[in-house]
Structure 1
Amino acid sequence: MTQPPSGFNLRGAVDLSALSKPAPTPGGGDAAAPQGVVVEITAETFQQAVTTSMTVPVVVDLYSSRSAASTQLSATLQQLAAGAGGKFQLARVDADANPQIAQAVGAQALPTTFAMIKGQPLPLFQGDHPAEQIQAVLDELLRVAGENGVTGTISVEEQPETPEEPEEPPLPPHLQAAYDAIETGSFDDAAAGLEAALKQNPADDEAKALLAQVELMRRLDGVDPMAALTAARDAAPGDVATQLVAADVEVSTGQAAAAYARLLAAVRSSGGDDKEAARARLVELFLLADPAEAAVLKARRDLAIALY
């Protein structure tokens, strides 16, 4: 292990502060230091750790979830941080998701542990080590931090307690049964159960919305999305069968507004059964969205105009 040398000179360290510059805060003030003894940071939030290191030593655990040594070291570091009374902050960085941080500090292996004091990195050690050896390095780090005027602490007492999330009430049996069927790919069973429930209670909006989702999944089973969109692009708006499939694909890929516009064009360009099929599909797709969404409200208005 590499221990911080006595008399460590911060001027010789590499400046990591340029890794992630935060957006200016209103009034020109710096962003507040992060709260918590153990935090998870990314390239985008790295500047928060740099800011914290101006007053509190920050130990950075550069880990990989694919590494057993990383898992063991992280557990040890978190235990030591919890027992340090806020004398340093442990900032954990997923190196797989944030390779630019690993590159910036020249990490040769994972896990790698380094510290920051006044925004400057100080190499500590690579790999996993016994807790007593790591504690010795941390003690030396705190000594060096003190020599450089970094003697603040994380105020553990002021940390807001994370409220326990209330347990969600259980779903009604018919909805739970439908979700269970969906998870196993039994769309027909899910649809049958929901249809039966709606016969008993036609005003069950949750069952209506879930049935619309099940029907969409049934229709898209085996459909090639790109082929469906290409076919619709080359077809006339009045080719309702082709446009219906393309609209389903668009809704399933988050392009609801495009699906609405496609079906409105089909309504305007067709008549008889085809017109009714396009109208009915559009109304069914509305069930999959928030009725207050601007795209839904606009499409409903446009549909009324197209029909009358």
Structure 2
Amino acid sequence: MTSESFSRPGAVDLSGLSAPTGSPGATTGRPGAPGQGAAGGGYVVEVTEANFQTEVVERSVTAPVVLDFWATWCQPCKQLSPVLERLATEYAGRFLLGTIDVDQNPRIAQAAGVQSIPLVVAVVRGQLVPLFQGAVPEAQVRQFIEELLRLSEGQGAAGTHQPVGGAPVEDAGEEPARDPRYADADAALERGDLDGAVAAFERILAQAPSDAEATRGLARAKLLRRVSALGSGADVRADAAAKPDDARVQCAVADLDVAGGHVADAFSRLVDTVRRTTGDDRNVVRLHLLELFEAVGPEDERVRQGRKDLSAALF
């Protein structure tokens, strides 16, 4: 995955595609998807103009919706689509797969900028996120999905979809109940109240300082709050290019990179800044990098590598 192939939500707003209630939508069978049929099932739904608002835009507030653009005549689609459907079941609601027949839904295809298929994009909180094009190998598809889920958590869309139409899912089991301690933080993130989310996570940590989920939630809420206050990303990056040893602006660009999914770039930038700076400036960058490690999560390979690089830069 490259930074060019995966970008932060915000480029395209798809909410205008919602169809009036009762408007007709195409229902076509999908090749290579036994048991799904026209209405989908489990964590796969057939998307049309008629149900785009409810099944894509509204559901994307809870967790990402991955859209698979296909057609009956497309041979590579028949290789890729079963892989996506298998992963949708495996991830058990962490993302919903929406299948879109481009011949039956030309307005959706046009709005998403589809030029060739198969094409896979995601929608997070109503915004389009490019993923990949072509029948890529399953291992690579997994990488894109994992990166999407990390980005979605940073955008406050890390919930779990319910099965489409209440359809049972084999071996899915019951979803564990969400810890009620996080209710205030979840509600604040849902309404975009980042100050409220920060305060809610801080209250949890005051009672349970070692709570890993609250620690990560606090770091991510603070990250989103900082990014929302930055203004023009282009101006911030220009400032950083002009002031390579300015701890404040280098940290700001690193925030933009992590929020945009370019985690390795952010870590590399701050490790290099640690090498170039001394004293208080160096400590500011070091502490900021540690907070970004918390936001991404200790199990992430990029965090493990970042910690090694930081240690080498310090010692």
- TM-score, normalised by the number of residues in structure 1: 0.51
Give the corresponding residue for 1:233: 241
How far is the alpha carbon of 1:290 from its aligned partner?
4.1
Deviation per residue, 1:24-58 (Å, 9 max, x gap) = xxxxxxxx854247345976352479xx9xxxxxx
Q: Structure 1's 46 and 290: CA in aligned 2 closer, same or farther, altered over 3 A?
A: farther
Deviation per residue, 1:241-292 (Å, 9 max, x gap) = 1101111011111111111011111111111221111111111111222433
- Counterparts of 1:161-180 in structure 2, within 5 Å, are 162-163=169-170, 165-180=172-187
Give the corresponding residue for 1:94: 105
Q: Structure 1's 46 and 260: CA in aligned 2 closer, same or farther, altered over 3 A?
A: same
Counterpart CA distance in 1 for 2:207 and 2:169 is 42
Q: Structure 2: which 5+ runs fail to align?
A: 1-30, 39-45, 48-67, 79-101, 115-166
Note if 1:211 corresponds to 2:241: no
- Counterparts of 1:210-289 in structure 2, within 5 Å, are 210-223=217-230, 224-236=232-244, 238-289=245-296
Of 293, 302, 315, the residue aligned with 1:295 is 302
Deviation per residue, 1:198-257 (Å, 9 max, x gap) = 122111000000000111122122322221122112212x21011011110111111111
Of 46, 50, 55, the residue aligned with 2:72 is 46
Aligned length: 180
Q: Structure 1's 33 and 307: CA in aligned 2 closer, same or farther, altered over 3 A?
A: closer
Aligned partner of residue 261 in structure 1, secondary structure: helix
Aligned partner of residue 223 in structure 2, secondary structure: helix
Larger Rg: 1
- For the 8 Å contact 1:34–1:48, the answer to whether it is kept is no
Give 1:94's aligned amino acid.
N
Counterpart CA distance in 1 for 2:33 and 2:214 is 44
How far is the alpha carbon of 1:196 from its aligned partner?
2.2
RMSD: 3.4
The percentage of counterpart residues that share the same residue type is 30
Counterpart CA distance in 2 for 1:234 and 1:259 is 17
Counterpart CA distance in 1 for 2:69 and 2:178 is 40
The worse-fitting range, judged by mean Cα deviation, of 285-294 and 220-229 is 285-294
**Structure with greater contact order relative to length (CA < 8 Å, sep ≥ 6):** 2
Counterpart CA distance in 2 for 1:214 and 1:283 is 15
Deviation per residue, 1:66-120 (Å, 9 max, x gap) = xxxxxxxxxxxxxxxxxxxxxxxxx99323235799xxxxxxxxxxxxxxxxxxx
Q: Structure 1's 47 and 295: CA in aligned 2 closer, same or farther, altered over 3 A?
A: same
How far is the alpha carbon of 1:298 from its aligned partner?
1.6
- TM-score, normalised by the number of residues in structure 2: 0.50
